[in-house]
Structure 1
Amino acid sequence: MSSSSLTAHLRHELSPDQCEILNEFIKEIDSLDLTRKQRKFCTEDCLIRYLRAREFVLAKSLKMLKETLEWRESFRPDEIDPKDLTLQAESGKSYVDTTFSKKGNALVFFTPSRENSTDWTKNVKLTVFCLEQAISQMKSKGVDKLILFMDFSGYSRKNAPPFHVSREVLHILSNHYPERLQHAFMVNTPMIFNLFWNLISPFLHHVTREKIQFVRKRDFHVLQEYVDADSLQKRFGGNREEPEIKMYWQSVIDMHIQREKRKQDKRERHQHQKMSRHERTISGAGVKA
């Protein structure tokens, strides 16, 4: 399913009243003074996600989207350079696998026991980078929601992030990536996690809480309802070896460099075409004179 097919599919799921609200939302966005990048972000499927996140209350959805646009201008998630996060990433605590679910959802893995840095700003950036990477990988498949695996094997207070960091990550996920979560599997949670969960769960929207499932080793067969055994890592009961993280992260850096080069080449071509048009205009004006 292409991105245009996804938009058509999402719109098809709306009721006539919801379609009318969506059309009003589009008009509201068209009236805003946005940058080219911001307008590119505000696709129709994006607007539908924000409407769903706020139960199709237009004022709340618009407020939420405006806050996201402001956040993206300051945080700049699409400009994060993975090379700057190599130290944080090399433990394998957060990454997006190269395989997908049965329905094409990206698979994102977090393993708190592998925490290797107290630079919480960069740790949050790594999480956001993974979200952006997952969304990018799914785009060609026409899928807009990811599956999150949180492996709590070896989890303890020693490797647990500070409460304010966890709350910030949840805020970003809930408010700036709405309707992006298909499922979240919390695997092998220890007793100590219950206290943390009691503190953090009130900050989750009830719809998000319903997507979270706690899974023990004896329940690993449940995961294969969503991910084929050959695409599921062995630590979750599948057949797939976990990637060698340092090699994997270097490939992520290489792809980022190639993508940035393509962007730069495109900008240079655009600038060259703009200058050529300008020169032809001047030349034409000169001949006319």
Structure 2
Amino acid sequence: MVQNKLSLQKLGLCVFIFATSISPTVQVSLDEFLALTYEQKLKLDVFRDRVTPYLPHEYMKKDVFLIRWLRDREFNIAEAEKRLLSHVEWREENDIDSVLDEDWADFEHEYKAYIEGCDKEGKPIISVFVGDWDIRRAVVSGKSKRLMRYFDRIFELASKALRDMQNDGQNVTQATLLFDMGNFNLVLQGCPRCIPIYLYILSVYERQYPGLAHRLVSLNTPQIALPLWDIYKHILTPQTRNILFIYGKDKKDWQRILLKEIDKDQLSRKLGGTKEDNAVDVFEYLRNVNVFRCENL
């Protein structure tokens, strides 16, 4: 019985790691993202004509949004159309347009995310200290569905922030996400009843927000997870594995990799940087500042 429970807890940890590895789009700048071959441009024209009548928002009709769905399906028009129209239906059924206006004060206090700075190409860096998140508390208190919607809100907020940056003339299509697993606890974050939460994150991010991430990096990953990761990583596509980076507790190891793309003054001291101020609460920042800019941090 104890062994079975421990196995489920390990599974919870594995599912979390998979949930940070679900975006198959490689990193590109806005100019590169919009650069298409002649054949791809023809497919974009066809795709646009087929889906535009069903898109409720103007931002959905822009090339940068449409290309994201085509790239996700390797420019298979039929598959991209099916995925995008399913996304529109999901938004309507779950009233996603109102999720940013709802009161989330209780969850924002418990489940925080931070803006560190920007990488050398101007992409925002978001840090999440997973070990500080008590997922089990929400589950046992009957708030699982609310927590799932809270993650909808996080994805929607990130997607909107990137659109606002593009409208502001910034050359960016993606963000880098850093997950610090330093305080990860199998009881609080890897409980068997927590697993559906991680599966939901995986499903929503992959199906509703493809290509949102440039890098997904797990830092200070517990030793117990590394052998399991070696076993299960082979079920992921090569594209997915290419943007996922998992590091153990050797700070010098993962810091060396991070600093190839991120200057030290763009990381908080908690992540080995030299940033004078602490990382900024992402929700508080975006409430008070209309558009994310590195120079404003």
**2:293 maps to which residue?**
none
Query: Alpha carbons of 1:41 and 1:198: their partners in 2 closer, same or farther (altered >3 Å)?
Result: farther
Contact 2:116-2:267 within 8 A present in 1 as well: no
Q: 2:278 aligns with which of 229, 242, 252?
A: 242
Give the Å deviation of 1:192: 3.2
1:50 counterpart letter in structure 2: W
* Shift in CA distance, 250/9, structure 1 to aligned 2, threshold 3 Å: closer
CA shift, 1:200, in A, is: 7.6
- Contact 1:107/1:146, CA 8 A, preserved across alignment: yes
TM-score by length of 2: 0.71
Distance 2:262 2:79 in 1: 35
Out of 172, 186, 189, the position equivalent to 1:160 is: 189
Return the letter of the residue paired with 1:137: A
Contact in 2 for aligned 1:110/1:150 (Cα 8 Å):
yes
TM-score (norm 1): 0.73
Please list every run of 5 or more consecutive structure 2 residues that lacks an aligned counterpart in the other structure.
Answer: 1-28, 291-297
Letter in 1 for 2:213: L
The CA distance in 2 between the partners of 1:202 and 1:132, in whole Å, is 30
Partners of 1:156 and 1:131 in 2: how far apart? 24
Q: Say whether the 8 Å CA contact 1:170–1:204 is kept in structure 2.
A: no
Q: Is the 8 A contact 2:100 2:157 kept in 1?
A: no
**2:240 alignment partner in structure 1:** 208
CA contact (8 A) 1:156 1:192 kept: no
Whichever residue aligns with residue 170 of structure 1, its letter is L
Identity among equivalent pairs (%): 20
Corresponding residue for 1:285?
none
Q: Distance in 2 between matches of 1:193 and 1:82?
A: 37
Residue aligning to 1:58: 77
Q: Secondary structure at the match of 2:187?
A: helix
Aligned partner (choices 142, 160, 183) of residue 215 of structure 2 = 183
SS of the residue 2:178 aligns to: strand
* Aligned pair partner of 1:151 in 155, 160, 180: 180
Give me the whole-angstrom Cα distance separating, in 1, the residues matched to 2:101 and 2:289: 10
RMSD: 2.9
Q: Give how far 1:98 is off.
A: 6.0
Q: Is the Cα–Cα contact under 8 Å of residues 181 and 218 in structure 2 kept in the other structure?
A: yes
Task: Determine the structure 2 residue equivalent to 1:87.
Answer: 106
Partner SS state of residue 142, structure 1: coil
- Match 1:232 to one of 254, 267, 275: 267
Q: CA deviation at 1:85?
A: 1.9
Distance 2:197 2:232 in 1: 11
Question: What does residue 112 of structure 1 align with?
Answer: 130
Specify which structure has the bigger relative contact order, considering alpha-carbon pairs within 8 angstroms and separated by 6 or more residues: 2
Alpha-carbon shift at residue 199 of structure 1 (Å): 9.1
- Deviations along 1:150-184, one digit per CA (max 9) or x if unpaired, are 10011121221521111111111111111111001
Equivalence for 1:280: none
Following superposition, the deviation at residue 137 of structure 1 comes to: 3.2
1:34-53 mapped onto 2 (5 Å cutoff): 34-35=55-56, 37=57, 39-53=58-72
Secondary structure of the residue aligned to 1:63 is helix
Q: Distance in 1 between matches of 2:209 and 2:157?
A: 13
- Partner letter of residue 115 of structure 2? D
Find the counterpart in structure 2 of residue 17 from structure 1: 39
Paired residue for 1:221, among 253, 256, 259?
A: 256
The one-letter amino acid paired with 1:153 is G
Corresponding residue number in structure 1 for 2:25: none
Deviation at 1:10, TM superposition (A): 3.0
- Note closer, same or farther for the CA distance 1:27–1:7 as it changes in structure 2 (3 Å cut): farther
Q: Based on CA coordinates, which of the two structures has the bigger radius of gyration?
A: 1
Greater shift, 78-87 or 215-224, is seen at 78-87
User: Could you tell me how far 1:50 is from its partner in structure 2?
Assistant: 0.7
Cα separation, 1, equivalents of 2:118 and 2:280: 18
Higher helix share: 1
> Structure 1 CA distance, aligned partners of 2:179 and 2:288?
26
SS of aligned partner of 2:121 = coil
Distance 2:227 2:150 in 1: 25
Q: Match of 1:102, SS?
A: coil
Which segments of 5 or more consecutive residues in structure 1 lack a partner in the other structure? Answer: 1-5, 257-289
